[in-house]
């Protein structure tokens, strides 16, 4: 599995932590920055990761900003992206089982490093359950089509 990761200035420290987790897990990772605590605009980095996931260049993405809210809003604008803001493990697991989430979003100012590691590991290791949830995912894609010309 190849994962793209990105953050704004509020997520740099947590991104470093998660990069080390991904390395430990032997997961190939593309880091889209930012790489300093100098203030940047989260949509710029959210776009890079979401675009890579949307185009199928990577299987999954991880985004971090202060709350995780801005990055979630950006990511869910992209076709084929299902981004889930998860600041605790239960949501992370369910976002994979039921929603087939392909981008995990974490709030760097909300979730501590140890918990973020637990959330990310669980999210990466949980498979989509399929079944009735496949129909629901298909309906999300249909909504994407229907709202194109609004």
Among 3, 4, 5, 8, interactor with ligand RB5 by CB under 6 A: 8
CA distance 104 to 123: 8
CB 48 within 8 A of CB 23: no
Contact residues for 40 (Cβ-Cβ < 8 A; gap 6+): 8, 9, 34
CB 58 within 8 A of CB 5: no
**Mask 86-105, x = binds ligand RB5 (CB under 6 A)?**
--------------------
> Which residue's structure tokens are 């989430």?
101
Nearer to ligand RB5, 10 or 92 (CB): 10
Contact between 19 and ligand RB5 per CB under 6 A: no
Among 32, 42, 78, 123, interactor with ligand RB5 by CB under 6 A: 42
Contact between 46 and ligand RB5 per CB under 6 A: no
**98 catalytic residue (yes or no):** yes
Torsion 92-96-100-104 (CA) sign = positive
**Mask 51-70, x = binds ligand RB5 (CB under 6 A)?**
--------------xxx-xx
Angle at 76 between CA 145 and CA 134, to 5 degrees: 60
CB 107 within 8 A of CB 150: no
**86 catalytic residue (yes or no):** no
Among the listed residues 7, 9, 29, 65, the single catalytic one is 65
Instruction: Report in angstroms how near the CB of residue 97 gets to ligand RB5 at its nearest.
Output: 26
Nearer to ligand RB5, 100 or 103 (CB): 103
Query: Residues interacting with ligand RB5, by CB under 6 A?
Result: 8, 10, 42, 65-67, 69-70
User: Which residues form the catalytic set?
Assistant: 65, 98
């Amino acid at each position: 599995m190849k994962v793209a990761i990105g953050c704004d200035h509020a997520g740099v420290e947590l991104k470093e932590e998660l990069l080390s987790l991904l390395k430990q897990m032997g997961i190939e990772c593309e880091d889209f920055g930012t790489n300093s605590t100098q203030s940047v605009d989260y949509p710029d980095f959210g776009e890079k990761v979401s675009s890579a996931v949307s185009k199928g260049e990577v299987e999954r993405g991880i985004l971090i900003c202060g709350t995780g809210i801005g990055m979630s809003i950006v990511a869910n604008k992209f076709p084929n992206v299902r981004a889930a803001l998860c600041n605790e493990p239960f949501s992370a697991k369910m976002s994979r089982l039921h929603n087939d989430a392909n981008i995990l979003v974490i709030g760097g100012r909300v979730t501590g490093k140890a918990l973020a590691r637990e959330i990310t590991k669980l999210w990466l290791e949980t498979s989509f359950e399929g079944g009735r949830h496949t129909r629901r995912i298909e309906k999300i894609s249909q909504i994407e089509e229907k709202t194109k010309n609004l």
